[in-house]
Structure 1
Amino acid sequence: MTKATIYHNPRCSKSRQTLALLEENNCEVTIVEYLKVAPSSSDIKKLLELLNFAPREMMRTKEDEYKAQNLSDVNKTSEDLVNAMVETPKLIERPIVLANGKAVIGRPPENVLDII
């Protein structure tokens, strides 16, 4: 049985669909409700490494908070962007799934099939 971790927002339809797909494929799923318990800076850096993403690639750039914090500013460092995700976890793209030492964003949910 594959063990998977999902950074999950139960109010998000894609997140719910991704969780259902993991369960349909008999994965043992650990659910991290990242809006309730924000990931640490080191957690976010690990996710970025596994996704092979720059910080902005893991951010919801259309959120009001992204604009309000002026995060599109090219002078913002990777550390600035990681700190913004720690302070405002709503900025983190969802859902993120970890399995078998790999990570994907479940948009579309079928992306998870590549790592389980």
Structure 2
Amino acid sequence: MRLFKVYFLPVALILSFSSSTHAGSTPLTKIEKILVHEGDRVFIKTVDYLNPPDCAKEIKEFAIDVSTNTGKAMYSAALAAASQGKQVEIHGKHGCNYWGDREDINVIVVPF
């Protein structure tokens, strides 16, 4: 039992400081704007946006690469939520690889 206590706390601390906890995210919020851009990119602006990475602090929007199946699924989820007035929760990747000033999306949650 003592061995469990000795190793549990350090592991819990390491996991709590993973890079995904520092990525941008939204609480449950509405999508304010969806912009489909040439070059297989879609940009999403939400009402709320917490902790954007430095590269996205000015624009405060998210980017999706719709050339991939995952990107197409994310775009479909965002479009469905926006068209129905549903709130979404978005978690970013803490980077702006798809577009220089918009954070890449890691997860879109659409609660129904």
- The TM-score bracket by the shorter chain reads 0.3 to 0.5
Q: Name the structure with the higher strand share.
A: 2
TM-score (norm 2): 0.32
TM-score (norm 1): 0.31
Q: Name the structure with the higher helix share.
A: 1
Greater RCO (Cα-Cα under 8 Å, separation 6 or more): 1
